Structures are given as C-alpha cells and as structure tokens.
C-alpha cells in the first residue's frame, strides 16, 4: 500500500517533469536570408552562438537599413550547460575627441541633423567586436564558416524589398551626400527599383578580413586606415586610437520577477531592463487579468510613465555615471511609485519631478535563437536611423551608425525626434549613449521565451505588453501581433497604433485624463520564440508588420 502510494506520487500524481532540452531549434529574424543563414550554421554543427554570429553578419548585409558592421548592439546569452547568462555590450562609444557641446552652434543652439547625418554622427562601432567575441568565447565554429553566408550574400547580391525602398526614400538626401553610400545603396543616385540586386563587394572584403583576423580585421590594419581617412575627410573626428581601444564589455543581465515569471533583460547602457522591471514591479500590485481593457491600459500607462521618468533622470553609461540599478529595480521602490498612482485618473507628467529622454528611432533589428541544446540568444542591434548616418568610408562597404543622436546633444533640449535628455546621458569622450534596446528572456515553470524588437523608446513598452501576454498564457504569434500602445512620461500622451482602442475605450481613457495620439503607421518588428517546456513544443513568430521569418526545425 505504502509503495503503491509512493509510485502514484512519483508517476501519476506529479505533473510531468519539464523537458530539459527543446525538441527543435528555432530562429526568428527580420529577414528570411538571415533566418536561413542561422539554420545553415546549426545544420553545420554550430550552436546558437555560432548561429547568432551568422545572423548578425547576414543582417549587416541584407538589412542595411537596420544594423551592420558600422553599428552596435546587445546580445543576451544563455548557456544551457550551466545556465550561465551574460550580456555582450557592443554598444558604440563616443569618439575620444567628442565634446559635450559638439552638436551646438556658437550660440549654444543644437545644429539640426549634425548628430544624424554624415560622419560626425557616428560612434565607434561595436558589432565587429561582438561577432569576434561571440565566436571566440561561445561558438564552436570558426568565423570562416559562420561568416560564409554573409560573404556570399554580399558578393552575389540579394533582391531589395519594398521596405528597403521606403527607407531609402526616407534617407535619400543623407545617402546622396556620401558618394560611396550612394554608389552602393542607390541606383543611378535614386531609390533602386523593386527586386534590384544589391551587391556589396567591399563589404564582402571587409567581412573576409574579419573572418581571417577576427576583430583586428576591422579595428586595425588596412581597413582601419580606410575608415579613419574616410571619416576624417568627411568632417568626422575618429582616430586610430578610437578603433584600437574599442572593447566589448560583458555585463551581468538584469533580473526581476513578475507573478512567478523570471525576467532577464538588458543592463545599462540600455535602459530597457531597468524600465521593464520597474514597470512590472509597479504592475505586480494589481490583478491585471481581472481588469477590463480600459482599467488595464490605464495602469500600464501609469507604470510606464513612472519608469520612463526615472529613465530620463538617472540612466546613462554605467562606466561613466553612477546608475542606481538596485534601487530602481527594487520591489520596495516600486511600492513607493505605486503609492502616487490613482486608479481613477491619470497623473499628469508635469506633476512628477524630472524631465524627459524620449528616444524614438526608425530602424534597428532584433533576432532570437534557440538551439536543440537549449542555448539561447536574444540580440537587438542597431545603426540607429534607417541606413544609419548614410555615410560609407570609401572602400570599406561599411555604413556607419548615427548612434551619437542617442546622447542628449544639450541636456534639456529636444533633438530632432523631440528627444530630451539629462545630465547622465550627456556626451563625453569614450562614453556609450543610452539605449532602449531590450533583448529579453522570460521564464516560468511552463516555458521560456526569447524576444525583443526595434522601435526606439517604444521598444520597452512593446516588450512589456508581450511579457504580460506571455503571463496570460498566450503564444508568440499573439505577442508579436498585439495592437500596441505606449507612454514615455513626456510627451504626456498615450501613443497607439491604429485600432488599438475602440471608440468607447478611447473615450473612457480620455475621461480618466489621458491624451491619446494615434501614430500613423504600425510600429515595431518583434521576433519571438517560446519553448513550451510543459508540452515540449517550440513555437516562433515574426512580427506581421515586417518581412522577417520565424522557423522551427
Ligand atoms: O539604442 C536605441 O535605443 C536606439 N538607437 C534604437 C533605435 C531603434 O530601435 C529604431 N527603431 N525603430
């Protein structure tokens, strides 16, 4: 009897033990060729980290609007073998000759577009260092193998899409201003026709130099010479020392919990993890699932308002300013923020102390990878605006970023996107600009999620909404397809996609004291994976707003 009881306890009465390795691998990226490149490397015996190298490099070729060797980003890693988690911080750094007021005129006014277009807008790239570091410390395959798909696409060319054409039109003037950029990314100095085969032989050579020499193929030698010469001729301030002294940083990811879900997300110099965890800590005080949509949207808005207020005041490069991470992510601190929150009316932002940092870019990319061992990568990478600064140093094929615009050019004064920043994010030599990029893992007893998205300051609210959808038990297709809304403290408005709220819901939110603003186009391009450990299934989804693919194999 006793033995029977024990057996029952072990076999019948216990829930099935969660699977320890996934039944399939999954990759979700913003471009079909990048998703395929990742699978090609997994099939060749590579792990998720090798696949991430291949995807990062392929996106640099086939999605030049979003990221590239001339940009930066964050790779969040989970090693299945020992559960080790880390964030590779390949964020751009300000050149050593950068000055706090370098984008201001003699009167102290911000010079429009100087931090957006051309060589002076570019920070020192971190993606080449990220690729080399990933391969050397986490991958199994040599760069010669993992960079092969990217080199192939750069040499043979790929057909450009409608979204490429839209972005090229948007950045036409900046691209035309750089002869090298125009000769690569335009056709007869104009937006190329749909299906135009874009070949990038110089970029293929640059990738080959990295395949042979690792990071030194980019930061030293002949390529570095071309970068410095090109940038300086075009009015930039880079020096060889900027390139040779660039170092990738490994940072401990931030962790929080929300209703039994463990959140692992980006550490500073991203604001993502802090703002996400802080907003979730505030929301943990309410039973969101039991609320009707208006009350729920109101609380989410109020949580975001407070999290973004703190972002504006306290956050910057942790190597140069003291960021109070522990305090801002503490549940006790959130209890204090919640105390000022009223369920029956909006709190006007101007009644809270502080000013604003609103970072709304237009491009960037995210990808998610899970391999069959359970290794994971969530990576958000950027050159900031579509086609970055629009500048290519002759002979390199490398489109440079305009991530310097993520600094506050002048504390308190809005930049071209209406962005205002504080002291913590002022420009300084070698400093990393504050980011919103938020590659994230979510873990509950039932499953693991890998997700992230581009979208400037709205990245954090998108990841938050999807986290709540994961908590509600929904699937990746639902997370990426959710109608989105956003609040970032200032401007004091709820931005939302068309169709997020019904007319009655919008009226009720207005009644509560909110101002609603419909954005003209849908936003974001989320790439997500779920390993449902309870049912031992893997699911993946690519945002329907983009042209990416998500495949499980
Ligand atoms: O790091 C950041 O926060 C920005 N440079 C990201 C820009 C971005 O996501 C643009 N996307 N649509």
Choose the residue to mutate in 72, 267, 317, 359 for probing ligand 1, maximizing ligand atoms within 8 Å of C-beta: 359
> The tokens 């932002």 sit on which residue?
349
State how far Cα 476 lies from the chain centre: 18
Rounded to 10°, the helix 272-283/331-339 angle is 60
Instruction: For residues 255 and 267, give the distance between their C-alpha atoms in angstroms, rounded to a whole number.
Output: 9
Shortest-distance Cα residue to atom 5 of ligand 1: 384
For ligand 1, the distance from its centroid to the CA atom of residue 453, given in whole angstroms, is 9
Q: Is the CB of 361 under 6 A from ligand 1?
A: yes
| Whether residue 59 sits in one domain with residue 140 | yes
* 456 CB near ligand 1 (under 6 Å): yes
> Which range marks the domain in which residue 461 is found?
251-361+437-544
Q: Catalytic: 343?
A: no
Same domain, 153 and 255: no
Ligand 1 centroid from CA 514, angstroms: 26
Cβ count within 10 A of residue 86: 17
* SS3 label, residue 239: coil
Per-residue pLDDT of 346-395, as tens digits, reads 999 999 876 544 444 558 999 999 999 999 999 999 999 999 999 999 99
Q: Ligand 1 pocket, 271 CB below 6 A?
A: no
Nearest CA to ligand 1 atom 1: 435
Question: Does residue 469 sit within a domain?
Answer: yes
Distance 383 CA to ligand 1 centre (A): 8
Structure tokens at 247: 């170092």
Both structure tokens of 18: 């969660």
Residue 362 near ligand 1, beta carbon < 6 Å: yes
- Backbone dihedral region of 235: left (phi > 0), alpha (psi from -120 to 50 degrees) or beta? left
Tell me how far the alpha carbon of residue 520 lies from the centroid of ligand 1, in angstroms: 18
Tokens at 106, concatenated: 């003699």
| Residue 437 in contact with ligand 1 by CB distance below 6 A | yes
Q: What distance lies between CA 40 and its chain's CA centroid?
A: 24
The answer to whether residues 538 and 491 belong to one domain is yes
**Residue 421 CB burial class (10 angstroms; 0-12, 13-18, ≥19):** buried
pLDDT (tens, 9 = 90+) of the chain, 553 residues, equals: 444 444 444 434 333 446 789 999 999 999 999 999 999 999 999 999 999 999 999 999 999 999 999 999 999 999 999 999 999 999 999 999 999 999 999 998 889 899 999 999 999 999 999 999 999 999 999 999 999 999 999 999 999 999 999 999 999 999 999 999 999 999 999 999 999 999 999 999 999 999 999 999 999 999 999 999 999 999 999 999 999 999 999 999 999 999 999 999 999 999 999 999 999 999 999 999 999 999 999 999 999 999 999 998 899 999 999 999 999 999 999 999 999 999 999 999 999 876 544 444 558 999 999 999 999 999 999 999 999 999 999 999 999 999 999 998 887 666 555 555 678 899 999 999 999 999 999 999 989 999 999 999 999 999 999 999 999 999 999 999 999 999 999 889 999 999 999 999 999 999 999 999 999 889 999 999 999 999 999 999 999 999 999 999 9
Residue entry with tokens 């039973």: 287
The neighbour count for residue 514, using CB atoms within 10 Å, is 22
Asked whether residue 5 is domain-assigned, the answer is: no
Within a domain: residue 15?
Answer: no
| Closest atom of ligand 1 relative to the 406 alpha carbon | 5
Buried b / exposed e across 237-260, counting CB within 10 Å, b at 16+?
Answer: bbbeebbeebebbebebbbbebee
Atom in ligand 1 nearest the alpha carbon of residue 403 = 5
Rounded Cα gap, residues 131 and 94, in angstroms = 20
Cβ-contact 216, 210 below 8 angstroms: no
In a domain, 494, yes or no: yes
- Indicate if ligand 1 lies below 6 Å from the C-beta of 415: no
Q: What CATH number does residue 331 fall under?
A: 1.10.246.130
Residue of 122, 456, 497, 526 to test ligand 1 pocket, by largest number of atoms within 8 Å of CB: 456
Indicate which atom in ligand 1 lies nearest the CA of residue 459.
Answer: 9
Q: Which two tokens stand for residue 429?
A: 């030599």
Domain count, the chain: 2
**Rounded to an integer, what distance in angstroms lies between the CA atom of residue 311 and that of residue 327?**
13
Report residue 422 CA to chain centroid gap: 22
Residue nearest to atom 4 of ligand 1 (CA): 456
Q: Is residue 319 in a domain?
A: yes
Q: What token pair was written down for 431?
A: 């400093």
> Within this chain, do residues 392 and 479 fall inside the same structural domain, yes or no?
no
What the block records as the tokens of 140 is 């199994």
Within 245-318, where are the H helices? 272-283, 293-314
281 and 339 part of one domain:
yes
Mean pLDDT of the chain, nearest integer: 93
Q: Is 111 part of a structural domain of the chain?
A: yes
- Per the residue annotation, which of 35, 146, 364, 453 is the catalytic one? 364
3-state secondary structure 72-141: EEEEEEECCCCCCEEEEEECCECCCCCCCCCCECCCCCECCCCCCCCHHHCCECCHHHHHHHHHHHCCCC
**Is residue 428 in some structural domain?**
no
Q: What is the 3-state secondary structure (H, E, C) of 392-454?
A: ECCCCCCECCCHHHHCECCCCCCCCCCCCCCHHHECCCCCCCCECCCCEEEECCCEEEEECCC
Answer yes or no: do 345 and 400 share one domain. no
Is 38 part of a structural domain of the chain? Answer: yes
Q: Assess contact for 332 and 288: CB atoms under 8 A.
A: no
- Atom in ligand 1 nearest the alpha carbon of residue 436: 3
Cα(254) to centroid(ligand 1), Å: 19
CA 237 to ligand 1 centroid distance, Å: 23
**What spacing in Å lies between the alpha carbon of 382 and ligand 1's midpoint?**
6
Q: Which atom of ligand 1 is nearest to the CA of 453?
A: 9
Pocket test for ligand 1, best of 63, 364, 453, 526 (most atoms within 8 A of CB): 364
- Please say whether the beta carbons of 310 and 278 come within 8 A: yes
Cβ of 67 less than 6 Å from ligand 1:
no
In the reported structure, the alpha carbon of residue 488 is separated from the centroid of ligand 1 by a whole-number distance in angstroms of 15
Is there a single domain that holds both residue 240 and residue 319? no
| Nearest atom within ligand 1 for CA of residue 271 | 3
Q: Are residues 102 and 228 in the same domain?
A: yes
Same domain, 342 and 264: yes
- Is 191 in the same domain as 303? no
Ligand 1 pocket: which of 436, 457, 521 to mutate (most atoms within 8 A of CB): 436
Closest among 413, 332, 369 to 107, alpha carbons compared: 413
Give dist(CA 62, CA 44) in Å, integer.
21
Mutate to test the pocket of ligand 1, among 72, 93, 382, 452 (most ligand atoms within 8 A of CB): 382
Say if ligand 1 is within 6 A of residue 363 CB: yes
One domain for residues 32 and 63:
yes
Taking the C-alpha atoms of residue 509 and residue 294, their distance in angstroms, rounded to an integer, is: 6
Q: Is 402 in the pocket of ligand 1 (CB under 6 A)?
A: no
245 and 116 housed in the same domain: yes
CA 454 / ligand 1 centre spacing (Å): 6
Task: Give the 3-state secondary structure of residue 344.
Answer: coil
Q: Is the CB of 454 under 6 A from ligand 1?
A: yes
CA 199 / ligand 1 centre spacing (Å): 26
Cα–Cα distances (Å) from 27 to 67, 376, 414, in that order, read: 18, 10, 38
């Amino acid at each position: 009897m006793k033995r029977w009881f024990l057996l029952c306890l072990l076999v019948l009465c216990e829930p099935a033990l969660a699977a320890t390795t996934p039944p399939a691998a999954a990759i979700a990226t913003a471009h079909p060729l990048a998703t395929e490149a990742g699978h090609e490397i997994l099939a060749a015996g590579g792990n998720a980290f090798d696949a991430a190298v291949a995807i990062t490099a392929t996106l640099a070729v086939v999605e030049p609007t979003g990221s590239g060797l001339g940009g930066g980003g964050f790779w969040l890693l989970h090693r299945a073998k020992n559960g080790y988690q880390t964030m590779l911080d390949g964020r751009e750094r300000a050149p050593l000759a950068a000055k706090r007021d370098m984008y201001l005129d003699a009167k102290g006014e911000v010079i429009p577009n100087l931090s957006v277009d051309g060589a002076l807008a570019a920070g020192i790239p971190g993606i080449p260092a990220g690729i080399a570091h990933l391969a050397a410390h986490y991958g199994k395959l040599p760069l010669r193998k993992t960079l092969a798909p990217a080199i192939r696409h750069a040499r043979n060319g790929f057909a450009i899409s409608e979204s490429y054409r839209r972005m090229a039109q948007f950045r036409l003037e900046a691209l035309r201003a750089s002869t090298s950029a125009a000769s690569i990314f335009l056709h007869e100095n104009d937006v190329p026709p749909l299906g135009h085969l874009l070949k990038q032989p110089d970029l293929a050579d640059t990738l080959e130099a990295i395949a042979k020499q690792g990071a030194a193929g980019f930061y030293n030698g002949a390529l570095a010479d071309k970068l410095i010469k090109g940038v300086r001729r075009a009015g930039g301030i880079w020096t060889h020392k900027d390139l040779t002294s660039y170092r990738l940083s490994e940072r401990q990811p931030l962790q929080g919990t929300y209703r039994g879900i463990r959140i692992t997300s980006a550490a500073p110099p991203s604001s993502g993890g802090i703002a996400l965890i802080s907003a979730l800590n505030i929301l943990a005080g309410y039973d969101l699932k039991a609320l009707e949509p208006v009350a729920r949207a109101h609380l989410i808005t109020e949580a975001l308002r407070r999290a973004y207020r703190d972002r504006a005041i306290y956050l910057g490069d942790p190597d140069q300013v003291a960021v109070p991470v522990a305090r801002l992510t503490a549940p006790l601190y959130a209890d204090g923020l919640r105390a000022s929150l009223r369920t029956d009316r909006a709190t006007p932002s101007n009644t809270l102390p502080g000013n604003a940092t609103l970072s709304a870019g237009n491009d960037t990319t995210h990808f998610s990878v899970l391999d069959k061992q359970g290794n994971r990568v969530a990576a958000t990478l950027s050159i900031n605006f579509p086609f970055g600064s629009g500048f290519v140093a002759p002979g390199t094929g490398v489109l440079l970023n305009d991530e310097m615009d993520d600094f506050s050019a002048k504390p308190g004064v809005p930049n071209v996107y209406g962005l205002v920043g504080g002291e913590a994010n002022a420009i300084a030599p070698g400093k990393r600009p504050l980011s919103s990029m938020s590659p994230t893992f979510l873990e509950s007893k039932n499953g693991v999620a890998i997700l992230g998205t581009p979208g400037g300051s709205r990245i954090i609210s998108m990841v938050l909404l999807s986290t709540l959808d994961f908590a509600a038990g929904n699937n990746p297709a639902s997370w990426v397809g959710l109608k989105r809304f956003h609040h970032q403290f200032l401007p004091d408005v709820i931005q939302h996609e068309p169709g997020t709220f019904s007319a009655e819901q919008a009226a009720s939110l207005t009644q509560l004291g909110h101002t609603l603003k419909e954005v003209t186009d849908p936003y974001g391009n989320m790439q997500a994976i779920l390993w449902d450990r309870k049912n031992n299934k893997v699911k993946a989804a690519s945002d329907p707003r983009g042209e990416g693919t998500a495949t499980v194999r």
